[in-house]
Amino acid sequence: KIEEAISGQLSFLANPKYRAQLQQTRASAVIVAPQVEISGLTVIQVENPYLAFAQVLTLFATKRHPPVGVHETCIIGEGTTLGEQCALGAHVIIGKHVRIGEQTVIYPGVVIGDHVTIGAETLIYPNVSILQDVSIGNRVIIHSGAVIGRDGFGFAPDGAQYYKIPQVGTVVIEDDVEIGANVTIDRAALGKTHIQRGVKIDNLVQIAHNVVIGEQSILVAQVGFSGSTKVGKHVTLAGQVEVGMVRKIDRR
């Protein structure tokens, strides 16, 4: 952080309201926008300081993933295939006829149902549940406690009680999606619940049956969707937004 950096460290300035802190920072260099110059301070001028900061930070970030290979306590069903250099932590349970791509990392306590497909370079944190027939793409990140493929909430009243409608659809999650902690994504009654490429989902989001979330959309914490809602591309929904049964939300 710019106010805490010391000699030998690199910082960044993305929000102009913090520009005054450049006068006091002890950082050896600061990533800034092209028009920013401060006498006596080494600056690295880029068009998008926030993006540059993220890219530089990636060079320094380290994750202590489970080692490549299958832990001896894992249970793997028949017909399951694992790509090269996968890492499966302790007490992972995988059902029958599951396909997992290369270099995918699965942390301890994950449960994966039958006939699930998971792509390459995907990261699944502890205690995630992925139920049967779900499809997950490449480079997906799923944080702890997420439940994907739970039954959609569907019941038909008969006048005296509620008859459970079998939820026979699936969930499809495309490439480069990130799913936060304790997110629930329900399977479709028929067809699919569809999370498209590049979507980013914060913690505690509820996505009901047959919802479609368009490419590169952002869902902040505690957003909730009723069934069959459709969201267009590049949509941002802030925290605690609740979306009822609407046909479609687009970026406008």
Is 209 an annotated catalytic residue? yes
The angle subtended at Cα 47 by Cα 26 and Cα 22, nearest 5°, is 20
**244 vs 252: CA distance, rounded Å:** 18
Cβ count within 10 A of residue 177: 23
Is 202 exposed, middle or buried (CB count within 10 Å of its CB: 0-12, 13-18, 19+)? buried
Token pair for residue 106?
């699965």
Q: What span, in angstroms and rounded, lies between the C-alpha atoms of 213 and 244?
A: 14
Enter the tokens of residue 47: 């068009």
Find tokens 């008969």 and name the residue.
Answer: 158
59 to each of 48, 53, 55, 63, 114, how far by Cα in Å? 17, 10, 7, 12, 37
Q: Which of 115, 143, 194, 209 is catalytic?
A: 209
User: Which residues does 187 contact at the CB level (< 8 Å), separation at least 6?
Assistant: 131, 133, 134, 149, 150, 151, 152, 167, 169, 170, 171, 193, 209
The whole-angstrom separation of Cα 191 and Cα 107 is 30
Catalytic residue annotation: 209
